[in-house]
Amino acid sequence: MKDALILFTRVPIPGQTKTRLMPFLTGEECARLHACFVKDIYEKAKQVDADIFVFFTPKDEKKLLQQVLDNETVCLPQFGDDLGERMKNAIGIVLRMGYEKVILIGTDIPQIHPETLKNAFDNLGGKDIVIHPTFDGGYYLIGMKKEYDSIWKIERYGTNTVIYDTLQHMRNEKLSTAVGQMYYDVDDKGDLYHLYEDIEKGAICNCPITIDYLELGLKGKLDKNYE
């Protein structure tokens, strides 16, 4: 296998994941929602012709993560001082295993489609880097064929200039870049309503586990607060 796909995620532990959705959702509900996201993106990743690696945090919760996925999943702990360093280290580890193309994606984009991932690998074939932005100024996917240090040197991750700063580093290094489809990530209450509305309108149908939870487990809360 020449290609590798990294799923980059937190382990869905109550009170430690999707915390920006609290207190609208309880810690348990946040964790269950995140578990749905992880399961859906994992099923879509399996439709791509690439080996799958899951890099997770916190580092001592591998067994819990494998309960969400399966015991055969290759799960490795994240390490590094900030988000950029953790992503850089994850990609570097997999590239040094001998893979030609490595793509890393987050797990809070339930509307992502397998074709988006396949296209990202195709685009990476002719470029140094592929990157897919989010509407809030970040990115949910980045891929490369060799390691680069400078592109991760962002002053602060989690701001609305991360994609701009990263692209500027790429331009400074004269790296050819493919910019892919933009999606919104689900971080806060407004994002969750956006996702729920898209599902209700039929605009999103490729995350069945998440859809079931929103329509069966959270529908009353979402409908009540939306009125």
Would you say residue 141 lies in a domain? yes
Bridge partners of 77, per DSSP, are 56
How many domains does the structure of the chain reveal? 1
- Could you tell me if residue 58 is inside a domain? yes
End-to-end Cα, the chain, rounded Å: 50
Structure tokens at 92: 């570097």
Q: Does the N-terminal peptide bond of residue 58 adopt cis geometry, omega within 30 degrees of 0?
A: yes
Confidence of residue 71 (pLDDT cuts 50, 70, 90): confident
What domain range includes position 35?
3-186
Confidence class for position 226, pLDDT limits 50, 70, 90: low
Mean pLDDT, the chain, as a whole number?
Answer: 94
Beta partners for 103?
5, 143
Position 118 in a domain: yes
Going by C-beta distance under 8 Å and a sequence separation of 6 or more, which residues neighbour residue 95?
102, 144, 145, 146, 147
Give CA separation, 111 vs 40, 154, 189, in Å. 9, 27, 16
Residue 203 included in any domain: no
The predicted model scores a pTM of 0.95
Report if residue 19 sits inside a domain. yes
